[in-house]
């Protein structure tokens, strides 16, 4: 879907201010949202809690806030929130929203 997205996790002030810039890969499969990066940058992205394979049924909400897409999901019994900045914002939002609606039916 996209190879050069940016984003940050909202779990701490440090993570909000230092996230990843133009190094995230976003993929949406039938059952998962993948947030990955290239091997060289994976250590940094993991440090900011941005490497995830999120099952679609774990998604709680997907919202647009300006140029950002805010994604809430459940992992290990906790709600996490990640903010993505994508060049394909509308396409990503529509795809995830549709998958989220299908899961709630």
CATH number of 28's domain? 2.30.29.30
Rounded CA gap, 53 and 68, in Å?
Answer: 20
**Residue 105 banded pLDDT, cuts 50, 70, 90:** low
Q: What is the CA radius of gyration of the chain?
A: 13
- How confident is the model over 37-56, as a mean pLDDT? 83
pLDDT at 20: 85
**Residue 39 banded pLDDT, cuts 50, 70, 90:** confident
Q: Which residues contact 31 (CB under 8 A, 6 or more apart)?
A: 55, 56, 57
Rounded CA gap, 75 and 88, in Å?
Answer: 25
Instruction: Record the pTM.
Output: 0.88
Q: How many domains does the chain have?
A: 1
pLDDT at 48: 76
Rounded CA gap, 72 and 16, in Å?
Answer: 15
- How confident is the model over 17-34, as a mean pLDDT? 90
Range of the domain at 11: 2-104
Phi, psi of 81 (to 5 degrees): -130, 130
């Amino acid at each position: 879907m996209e190879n050069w997205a940016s984003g940050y996790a909202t779990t701490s002030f440090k993570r909000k201010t230092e996230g990843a810039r133009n190094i995230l890969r976003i993929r949406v499969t039938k059952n998962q949202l993948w947030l990955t990066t290239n091997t060289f940058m994976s250590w940094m992205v993991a440090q900011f809690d941005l490497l995830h394979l999120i099952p679609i049924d774990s998604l709680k909400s997907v919202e647009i806030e300006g140029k950002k897409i805010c994604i809430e999901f459940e992992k290990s019994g906790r709600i996490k929130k990640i903010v993505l900045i994508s060049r394909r914002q509308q396409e990503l939002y529509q795809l995830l929203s549709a998958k989220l609606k299908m899961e709630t039916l």
